[in-house]
């Protein structure tokens, strides 16, 4: 499989400006709704959420994920594939 970024997401969730734990709660809620094989794209500006909370959640749920930091914009694009 190529990078997750090349797949069209089912949902784009923008959690920029939100403090933990709100972003991860929204991610969990959206992932529960998605059928297996769907991709969620998350736009996030919180290092704690992007580099800690979401990766731990994905590993626990056995979801494939990819994190891309956009240096020029100061936020992360996180792709989560539900198995």
Mean pLDDT confidence for 50-67: 96
Mean pLDDT confidence for 74-81: 95
Q: Report the mean per-residue pLDDT for the chain.
A: 94
Short-list 33, 46, 42, 47, CA closest to 82: 33
Domain CATH for 53? 3.30.110.40
Q: What is the pTM of this model?
A: 0.92
Residue 2 within any structural domain of the chain: no
Q: Does residue 44 carry a catalytic annotation?
A: no
1-30 residue pLDDT tens = 469 999 999 999 999 999 889 999 999 999
Short-list 30, 76, 17, 33, CA closest to 52: 76
The pLDDT of residue 73 is 78
Residue 11 within any structural domain of the chain: no
User: For the chain, what is the HEC assignment?
Assistant: CCCHHHCCCCEEEECCCCCCCHHHHHHHHHHHHCCCCCEEEEEECCHHHHHHHHHHHHHHHCCEEEEEEECCCCEEEEEEECC
Residue 45 lies in domain: 22-81
Residue 1 within any structural domain of the chain: no
Residue 55 within any structural domain of the chain: yes
The pLDDT of residue 61 is 96
The pLDDT of residue 72 is 77
**Both structure tokens of 65:** 């994920």
Residue 9 within any structural domain of the chain: no
| Of 12, 19, 20, 64, catalytic | 20
Name the domain count of the chain.
Answer: 1
Comparing 13-22, 36-45, 68-77, the range with the smallest average pLDDT is: 68-77
Residue 50 within any structural domain of the chain: yes
């Amino acid at each position: 499989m190529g990078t997750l970024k090349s797949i069209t997401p089912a949902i784009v969730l923008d959690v920029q400006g939100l403090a933990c734990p709100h972003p991860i709660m929204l991610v969990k809620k959206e992932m529960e709704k998605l059928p297996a094989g769907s991709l969620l794209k998350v736009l996030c500006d919180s290092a704690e959420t992007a580099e800690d909370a979401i990766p731990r959640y994905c590993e626990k749920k056995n979801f494939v994920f990819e994190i891309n930091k956009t240096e020029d914009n100061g936020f992360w694009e996180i792709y989560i594939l539900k198995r």
